[in-house]
Amino acid sequence: MLYSKLFGRTKHEVPADANSKNAELLTKAGYIDKLAAGIYNYLPLGIRVLQKINQIIREEMNAVGGQEILMPALQPIDIWEQTGRNKTMDEILYRTKGGEKDFVFGPSHEETVTPLVKKFVQSYKDFPLAVYQLQTKFRNEPRAKSGLLRGREFGMKDMYSFHANEKDLDEYYLKVMEAYLNVYSRCGMEAYVIEASGGAFSDKYSHEFSIKTPAGEDIMIFCEKCKFAQNLEIAEGKYDNPSSDEEEKPLKKVEVKRGKSIEENARAHSCEDWRVLKSVVYMVEEMGPIGILIRGDFQLNEEKLTRYFKKRLRPATLEELKKFDLVEGFISPVLADKKPNNKISFIADQSIKNMKNFVTGANEKDVDWANVNIGRDFEVKDFADFVAVTASFNCPKCGHKLSEVKVVEAGNIFKLGTKFSEAFDLKFTDSDGAAKSVVMGCYGIGNTRMVGTIVEASHDEKGIIWPKTVAPYLVHLMHLGNDDEAKAMGEKLYEILQKERIEVLYDDRDCGAGQKLNDADLIGIPLRIVVSKRTLAEQNIEWKERANKEAKNVKISDLVEKIKEFTNI
Ligand SMILES: [Zn+2]
């Protein structure tokens, strides 16, 4: 491709509203152009990258038996009503009318693929079956602000698998997990597999694939030693139990002027933060108020709490606390403090299970209890894991210190079970003659998001550094200066490389050397070949790999062979 003819040019000013590195670099380099928040045009360079990613995804999905199909983006609302996701996903659905009928622009395709498969499968012999597509998705994303990482219209590869039983799904799920890791490594990225929640209201099993980048919006809890990666929302960690060996001391009431923070509380009692028993009250849907107890130096993880109850919940308001005879900042689980309107029962994080001699409020302003002990002074209905794990915890597998790492989620896979097959009555006849619900899995990779993620993970102050496998071209050829000989050699090499089927972008413009070199760094093609009067004098070209700092001279006669070696991917 001749750069002078390429549609979409480099821009040297940062677009005013590019609020992420990927949007800034991809726009400046001429890969994409924003139409509206979270909605982008792909220019020829951008399409080439996307198509290469798509090809890698296709090859890996085909390798695990996936068959490519294409389902409509425009979907009648009634299939969404059938699963109830018209309500649960209401906030992100784009709706439209076609005549009298209501439609949605598909944010996902379970509602389309399940009835489709129902038309073609009858017997256990039809399984396993996996179909996938590369399709545009639409989600009314309130935070569309990270360039290609969070779009309102975006590309996705979504695969759905269908099985006669859980065991078959489990086996296939692991195969797809491997295929996903292949996709990321072939795209030049190292992905971490993280066990995740299948959503707060589900027991279902899922995994996320995350790529480390400083721009990541998600946090991964990571162990550098054993490489155990966890999703922040459900991460587990080890911690010490500082007071478990103590004798239970006599309960006593103390008058104390203190602030409401844990630190102020600990200071007022001259004790450590962990000795303060943190008591909070949540309003749980259909259940009412529930008290939660946790160590003062730990934070409560609402996601874990929601998963525990499998119901919606929120912290009680000040008015509600008053109604239950609870004094804000001095909430007490102590049995002696029970009042007529305060029949709240308490559950606790397991971190307090073996601890002794807590400090806690006495449900009266400026009055606390000291030496509070579980069982003797208060009851705990149940212990579970509610703690928000941070880098101050240790790895649950090997005990090494954990760290918090910023990541971009680059894909996820779910075991759906029979949720969708039941909603659409997708059944099959098993080998024993019984009619059973089909077991399903689903597997997503945001392919347009991958373009942005690769840029976030692989760039420097000058521009993008594409991995060879997804670069729009492999060679960025240019001649420098007005020298006729250099220009003629540039054109000759361009022809030779094209004949050799080497993907080459030739900067044939008559502009300054600085502009050409800066543009090449910004565009980020893996290999830059420069022809100039100086190098020609020795029958050389200058060879510079985008990922390396140093340039070297290579004999023109060796060039094609060396490029083939370099681009052998
Ligand atoms: Zn570890």
Mean pLDDT comparison of 93-102, 207-216, 462-471, 476-485, highest-scoring range: 462-471
Q: How far is the CA of 228 from the centre of ligand 1 (A)?
A: 6
Q: How far is the CA of 401 from the centre of ligand 1 (A)?
A: 8
Q: Is the pLDDT of residue 202 over 60?
A: no
Q: How far is the CA of 459 from the centre of ligand 1 (A)?
A: 30
Query: Which distant-in-sequence residues (6+ apart) come within 8 Å of 232 by Cβ?
Result: 218, 219, 220, 221, 388, 389, 404
Fold match between domain 3-235+404-456 and domain 475-566: no
Q: Is the pLDDT of residue 198 over 70?
A: no
Q: How far is the CA of 211 from the centre of ligand 1 (A)?
A: 19
Q: pLDDT of 316-365, one tens digit each?
A: 999 999 998 889 999 999 987 776 666 789 999 999 999 999 999 999 99
Q: How far is the CA of 293 from the centre of ligand 1 (A)?
A: 28
Q: How far is the CA of 199 from the centre of ligand 1 (A)?
A: 25
What average pLDDT score do residues 29-45 get? 95
Give percent of the chain above pLDDT 70. Answer: 98
Q: Residue 89 gets which letter from DSSP? A: T
Question: What architecture is domain 3-235+404-456?
Answer: 2-Layer Sandwich (3.30)
Q: How far is the CA of 396 from the centre of ligand 1 (A)?
A: 7
- The pair phi, psi for residue 263, each rounded to 5°, is -60, -45
Q: How far is the CA of 220 from the centre of ligand 1 (A)?
A: 13
Could you confirm whether domain 252-384 is CATH 3.90.960.10?
Answer: yes
Q: How far is the CA of 383 from the centre of ligand 1 (A)?
A: 25
Q: What is the pTM of this model?
A: 0.83
Q: How far is the CA of 194 from the centre of ligand 1 (A)?
A: 14
> Taking Cα atoms as reference points, which of 29, 25, 15 lies closest to residue 213?
25
Tell me the pLDDT of the chain averaged across its residues: 93
Q: Which residue has the higher pLDDT, 143 or 153?
A: 153
The tokens of 165 are what? 């039983």
Give percent of the chain above pLDDT 90. Answer: 83
The tokens of 416 are what? 């759906």
408/402 Cα distance (integer angstroms): 19
Q: How far is the CA of 533 from the centre of ligand 1 (A)?
A: 57
486/479 Cα distance (integer angstroms): 6
Q: Is the pLDDT of residue 366 over 90?
A: yes
Q: How far is the CA of 217 from the centre of ligand 1 (A)?
A: 23
pLDDT at 168: 97
What average pLDDT score do residues 89-106 get? 93
Q: pLDDT of 401-416, one tens digit each?
A: 999 999 999 999 999 9
Q: pLDDT of 532-542, one tens digit each?
A: 999 999 999 99
Strand order of the β-sheet with 551-555 is 504-507, 475-479, 527-531, 540-545, 551-555
CATH superfamily assigned to domain 475-566: Anticodon-binding domain (3.40.50.800)
61/57 Cα distance (integer angstroms): 6
Q: Any idea where the domains of the chain sit in the sequence?
A: 3-235+404-456, 252-384, 475-566
Q: Which residue has the higher pLDDT, 238 or 18?
A: 238
Q: How far is the CA of 237 from the centre of ligand 1 (A)?
A: 10
* pLDDT tier at 269, thresholds 50, 70, 90: very high
Q: Are 38 and 153 in contact (CB under 8 A)?
A: yes
Question: Lowest-confidence range among 126-140, 218-232, 434-448?
Answer: 218-232
Q: How far is the CA of 290 from the centre of ligand 1 (A)?
A: 34
Q: pLDDT of 236-253, one tens digit each?
A: 999 988 888 899 999 999
What average pLDDT score do residues 39-44 get? 96
Q: How far is the CA of 397 from the centre of ligand 1 (A)?
A: 5
Q: Residue 425 gets which letter from DSSP? A: T
266/259 Cα distance (integer angstroms): 10
Q: How far is the CA of 223 from the centre of ligand 1 (A)?
A: 5
Q: How far is the CA of 150 from the centre of ligand 1 (A)?
A: 31
> Taking Cα atoms as reference points, which of 61, 26, 48, 54 lies closest to residue 447?
54
Q: How far is the CA of 233 from the centre of ligand 1 (A)?
A: 18
pLDDT at 199: 56
* pLDDT tier at 254, thresholds 50, 70, 90: very high
Q: pLDDT of 76-85, one tens digit each?
A: 999 999 999 9
